[in-house]
Amino acid sequence: MTDLNLRIEGHAGRITLNRPDALNALTHEQALRIETQLREWATDPAVKLVMIDAVGERAFCAGGDIQHLYDTGRAGDFSYGKTFWSDEYRLNALIWNYPKPFVAFMHGFVMGGGVGISALGSHRIVTDSTQVAMPECGIGLIPDVGGSLLLACGPGRLGEYLGTTATRMGPGDAIYAGFADTYVTPDQWEPLKTALLSGDIAVIEDFSAPKPDSPLAAEQAQIDQYFAGETAMDIVRLLEHEPTEWTEKALKAIRRNCPLSVACAVEVIHRARPLTRIEEVLALEYRFTARCMEHGEFLEGVRAAVIDKDRNPQWATPTLEALPQYRVSQMLMRLGADELDL
């Protein structure tokens, strides 16, 4: 098996990621191959539904493969990054709008780019090992791949909380937040896949188990109270004003991330909330990602987290207090002729 196994079994088009040693991080080539295959299956009468899963116990997909993005960006080539993100976002839009049931088996780590190829599907399955997160602010990005729309659609101000703190969601939280639909116990995982080969999407209900409790649901009132600010700095001031164990933990999580990214993430989630078409949201996210290497902090974030692994990023703007609000506007202004067109 190669790093991506595409095939038809029964009445199901099957996609299996196979880079377990890399936590199934999604490469540019994989994204293009998945897109091509999905477009073929969309009009193939033999394919009644699509299933996506992954090899290995640790992760469905822990994000996009950012090594080449970093290498090209460091060399001053920003065109590759723009191509990578535009291609990836086109795949995300295809999954969101897919004309047939799209079933994602979200085990282990499901983060960043992994969310974009699973949680945008019509049927999202989680289990005991599931850990979903949008941790992009930690590497100088923002929640993207359409994730800002999922965050915006979450209960209350949960999206702002998840996007700025990178909090991980277990199966109960993922369902509560709108990133998943159905909880299936580990022992029924493979039997469900086999049953779906019939092409009958209704069999999912036969394998569904009562969803686990959601710790986030219990924190919703606090999240709404402290994350309702218009800007990231408003949120920080609210958290600082009333020091408790909960607010201090949330504040520490925010401070761990890139200030520019946190500020832009809050703005993007706010702008995404009234939008209904994912294409509009992806275009908004792309305004940031198209600029994140040349005008943002992505390269330093990746250096600290992935390349040198010193976990000590030296942000150009080290705190939210020092960040002028116009920097948010600069990162999110329209791109003119380079605006993303899906």
Domain positions in the chain are: 4-338
Query: Residue 131 has which token pair?
Result: 């850990």
Instruction: Give the β-pairing of 49-54 and 59-61.
Output: unpaired
pLDDT band at 76 (very low <50, low <70, confident <90, very high): very high
Does residue 1 have a pLDDT over 90? no
Does residue 71 have a pLDDT over 90? yes
What is the C-alpha to C-alpha distance for residues 54 and 194, in angstroms, rounded to an integer? 15
Q: Spell out the CATH class of 4-338.
A: alpha beta
Q: What is the DSSP string of 81-107?
A: HHHHHHHHHHHHHHHHT-SS-EEEEE-
Q: What pLDDT, in 10s, does the model give residues 152-204?
A: 999 999 999 999 999 999 999 999 999 999 999 999 999 999 999 999 999 99
Q: What pLDDT, in 10s, does the model give residues 207-227?
A: 999 999 999 999 999 999 999
Does residue 299 have a pLDDT over 90? yes
Q: How far is CA 202 from CA 47, 53, 101, 188, 253, in A?
A: 15, 19, 10, 15, 40
Q: What is the DSSP letter of 22?
A: G
pLDDT of residue 276: 85
If you compute the radius of gyration of the chain from its CA atoms, what whole number of angstroms results? 19
Report the mean per-residue pLDDT for the chain: 97
pTM of the model: 0.97
CA 260 to chain centre: 18
What is the C-alpha to C-alpha distance for residues 261 and 236, in angstroms, rounded to an integer? 14
Q: Map residue 132 onto helix, strand or coil.
A: strand
Q: What is the DSSP string of 147-166?
A: HHHHHHTSSTTHHHHHHHH-
